[in-house]
Amino acid sequence: MLRRSESGLAGRWHADCVTRRMSAPLPFPEDRGGPAQPLLRLNGLKKHFPIRGGMFGATVATVRAVDGVSFAVRKGETLGIVGESGCGKSTTARLLMRLMDPDAGEMVFDGEGVGQDSQTGGIALKDYRRQVQMVFQDSYASLNPRLPIEDSIAFAPKVHGVSGPEARQRARELLAAVGLSPAQFARRYPHELSGGQRQRVNIARALALQPRLVLLDEPVSALDKSVEAQVLNLLMDLKEKFGLTYVFISHDLNVVQYISDRVLVMYLGQVAEQGPVDAIYDRPAHPYTQALLASRPSMDPTKRRTEPPLTGDPPNPINPPSGCRFRTRCPYAEAVCAERAPVAADLGAGHEAACHMALPGSGHSKAGRLAA
Amino acid sequence: MSEILERPVVTTAAASPLITMRDVHVRFVTRDRTVHAVNGVDLDLAAGEVLCILGESGSGKSVTMRALMKLLPRTAKVSGRIEVAGRDVTAMSEGELQDFRGSDVAMIFQEPMTALDPVFTIGRQIAETVQRHEGLSRAAAMARALELLELVQIPSARRRLEAYPHELSGGLRQRAMIAVALACKPKLLLADEPTTALDATVQIQVLLLLRKLQEQLGMGVVFVTHDLGVAGEIADRVAVMYAGRVVEEGPVGALMTGPLHPYPRGLLGATVHGGMRGQRLTTIPGAPPSLETVPVGCPFAPRCTEAEEVCTVGEIAPRRPVPGRMARCVHVPAE
């Protein structure tokens, strides 16, 4: 693939933007619960997809894409979500964005129930989505090919009642903020940009509504390494500049370690482990997290491994194993693992692992050894 | 399973290298434009060696590899010398190529689902290759297919012979494709990002399997990747490509710890790894050049922080400061 030269470095702001505050055509959403209240809290979120078959379209099986996921996103942090394909990370993202409705569970955004009406202390979806925006992996598919990028960015503010000229003015400021010169790029179409530039446009569009939470679903996976670093630097800068909170979904463990404050490890639709980034990477408690970290290829040819940490592929989420879902690949699995699903064991400082070995008195022969 | 391993595959061909590429150029010519994808590549591979071609998208790594098997479309104009196992690939006829592909050289791809035929069983697809190249009976070919599935460590291999590609998981499909490629014990295996689409825990399994098979069968392997970690895990030697040229080449350990050329140095600096939290990532400014014209001088010069006047005029000759290492950069001492 050929690409045009990319203008400017990540983080090299348009001089205008650094010196004066950007115009704010929309009122900035105000903080309600104070810094201690999580920005977003999920409780027991579930999403099952029926598989229909047979003559009358009866449900023959169910994909348990997200099966009882609970976590909180704190204000101002970056929460990384890692896992392999089929673990439910993208479904979680779509649920967070309410691009689909959960089958069960509740979502609370800064103290307000998402999707409930305001009389019962809730927040309407339109207001919620203004404050929560998303950046997708495929930078080309997520832009309208028939709109100049400036109009794509100005689209959502117009829906929310900002006048056309004002929205376009703001779009140009945002283009500058993501390192694309408005004079050069504003009227271009998505196909005239390189992958890295398009991803910058997607980021600018996500920021157009002045959101508080930005969901990044594999935002750098399709980019080359040198461009990936530019976009990661940009994301760090924007977070500070606009006071954002990120949920960063990726399969790349190194990138997640770099950007996250806390990390959530998912396996087959459930949370295997979550905690502060250093705890997860230095003291992983769940055998799956340990294997995932050990599977990273080493850049040092003298430290090549000889045996893979895990054998086999992740099982199909249609018929997940009973009890602990990881037990079919786990080297420490015992009878108790097949009988009961482990509950999350608290390992201190917000570090939790859903493993019988982490839980004292669970019946596993190694139970409780991991607890602090 | 043992039978396939016992047959001597490499006949002490140390004298004749497996691959010799000299000054290879590939241009894609269409009515609208010409793209200079590969601009003067020299590569050598000894029998039983693993070479990683490392580069970003558009660097010409896949085109270089496809040229080795003459798998490029008609719009591609190839020049230069390409020899594989002592035979001139550029001069081969269509019939000769059909004998050559699959028996001497085999290839595995990134996407097993599109590389395998969805309407035939795995066993049938392996047997077909064996029947075509070795003239075995159908029963004997199926027996070989079973051996191969066991060789690539597919569990319950006998049952999997009858499976269609869509019935297998991603990791098993990739193993099945490797089995097809190894069916006739090729001297050279070409691998085009075969682990990129796989999950982390499966990727390491396939990498380790490929390394083991390469050692057992004594194949030469050209492995194309954009992932430095994958190269570190499997390569003996690494060739870094940029804008259709090999800018640096050397043993994997030396290249990963002390790259000579500013481009691999930048690439290593831009690659996120543990312990970089909180630091600002070093980036390579700009983007690779358009290949509609052949870059003059060093193609990396416009993005290079050490570029000087001399970098933008004339061809930068390869420099070899120590035996076995090469870099095309004026700042590298010529020896």
In angstroms, how far is the first alpha carbon of chain A from the final one?
A: 51
pLDDT score, position B275? 74
Per the CB < 8 Å rule, is A291 touching B201? yes
Note which residues in 190-229 of chain A have CB less than 8 A from chain B. 194, 196, 224-229
Q: Is residue A132 located within the same domain as residue A183?
A: yes
A89 lies in a domain? yes
Out of B202, B229, B282, the one facing A296 most closely (by C-beta) is: B229
Please give the C-alpha separations between residue A230 and each of A6, A224, A244, B212, in angstroms, as whole numbers: 11, 10, 18, 37
pLDDT for residue B80 = 94
Higher pLDDT, A239 or B110: A239
- The alpha-carbon gap from A283 to the nearest alpha carbon of chain B, in Å, equals 14
Residues A229, B229: C-beta atoms closer than 8 Å: no
Length of chain A, in residues: 372
pLDDT score of B237: 95
CB-based contact B233 A233, cutoff 8 Å? no
User: What interface predicted TM-score (ipTM) does this complex get?
Assistant: 0.83
Q: B134 pLDDT exceeds 50?
A: yes
B322 and B224 in a common domain = yes
Interatomic CA distance for residues A265 and B2, integer angstroms = 41
So what's the pLDDT on residue A197?
Answer: 92
Say which range, A117-126, A271-280, B4-13, B204-213, has the weakest mean pLDDT.
B4-13
pLDDT greater than 60 at residue B308: yes
How many domains is chain B built from? 2
Residue among B204, B205, B283 minimizing CB distance to A229: B283
**Residue where a domain stops, chosen among B169, B185, B201:** B185
* Any B CB within 8 A of A10 CB: yes
The domain that holds B304 is classified in CATH as 3.40.50.300
Query: What local confidence, expressed as pLDDT, does residue B110 receive?
Result: 85
Of B141, B163, B185, the last residue of a domain is B185
> Could you list the residue range(s) of the whole structural domain that residue A357 is in?
288-372
A308: closest chain B residue by CA: B205
Residues of B in contact with A3 (CB under 8 A): 58, 287-288, 290
Q: What is the mean pLDDT of residues B205-222?
A: 92
Domain that holds residue B73: 2-7+14-104+186-327
Asked if B134 and B248 sit in the same domain, the reply is: no
If you average pLDDT over residues B122-142, what whole number do you get? 92
Q: What is the mean pLDDT of residues B123-133?
A: 92
Helix H, strand E, coil C: the string for B45-92 is ECCCCEEEEECCCCCCHHHHHHHHCCCCCCCEEEEEEEEECCEECCCC
Q: Rounded CA gap, A235 and A246, in Å? A: 9
CA distance B90 to A148: 45
Of A229, A299, A302, the CB nearest to B229: A299
Whether A269 is covered by a domain: the verdict is: no
What pLDDT score does A23 carry? 56
Chain B, residues 133-152, CB within 8 A of chain A, namely: none
- List chain B residues with CB under 8 Å of A313: 169-172, 199, 202
Closest of B73, B62, B60, B74 to residue B25, by C-alpha: B60
B289 has a chain A CB within 8 A of its CB: yes
- Determine which of A78, A198, A221, A226 to mutate to test the interface with B (most B C-beta atoms within 10 Å): A226
Contact call for residues A96 and A73 (beta carbons, < 8 A):
no
Collect all residues of chain A within an 8 Å Cβ-Cβ radius of residue B56.
224-226
Residue A44's pLDDT is 92
Residues B162 and B135 in one domain: yes
pLDDT score at A117: 65
Give residue-wise pLDDT tens across range A139-173.
899 999 999 999 999 999 999 889 999 999 999 99
DSSP string computed for A65-83: EEEEEEEEE-TT-EEEEE-
pLDDT of residue B296: 87
B269 CB neighbour count, 10 Å cutoff: 16
CB contact, 8 Å: B226 with chain A?
A: yes
- Same domain for B23 and B125? no
Phi-psi label, residue B284: left if phi above 0, alpha if psi -120 to 50, beta otherwise:
beta
- Indicate the number of domains in chain A: 2
Nearest to B208 among A1, A230, A308 (CB): A308
Residue B319 lies in a domain: yes
Q: Kindly report the pTM of this predicted structure.
A: 0.85
User: Who has greater pLDDT, B220 or B271?
Assistant: B220
- Is residue A152 within 8 A of residue A188, CB to CB? The reply is no
Tell me which chain A residues have a C-beta less than 8 angstroms from the C-beta of B233. Answer: 297-298, 301, 304
CATH of the domain at A160: 3.40.50.300
Rounded CA-CA distance A65/A55 in Å is: 25
The verdict on residue A357 lying in a domain is yes
Average pLDDT, chain B: 89
Q: CA-nearest residue of chain A to B154?
A: A312
Option in A252, A258, A313 nearest B172 (CB): A313
Query: Is B297 found in the same domain as B149?
Result: no
Question: In this complex, do B273 and A236 lie within 8 Å of one another by their Cβ atoms?
Answer: no
Q: Domain ends where: A249, A264, A279? A: A264
Residue A7 lies inside a defined structural domain of this protein:
no
Whether residue B272 and residue A233 make contact (CB cut-off 8 A), yes or no, is no
Structure tokens at B95: 């019939």
Q: Mean pLDDT for each 10-residue chunk of chain A (372 residues)?
A: 36 35 66 85 92 80 90 94 88 91 91 76 86 91 94 93 92 93 93 91 94 93 86 93 94 92 94 94 94 89 85 83 91 90 89 91 77 44
Inside any domain, residue A21: no
Interface of A with B in 249-288 (CB under 8 A): 251-255, 257-258, 277, 281
Query: Does a structural domain hold residue B332?
Result: no
Q: Are A131 and A81 part of one and the same domain?
A: yes
Q: Are residues B71 and B144 located together in one domain of the fold?
A: no
Q: Would you state the pLDDT for residue B315?
A: 84
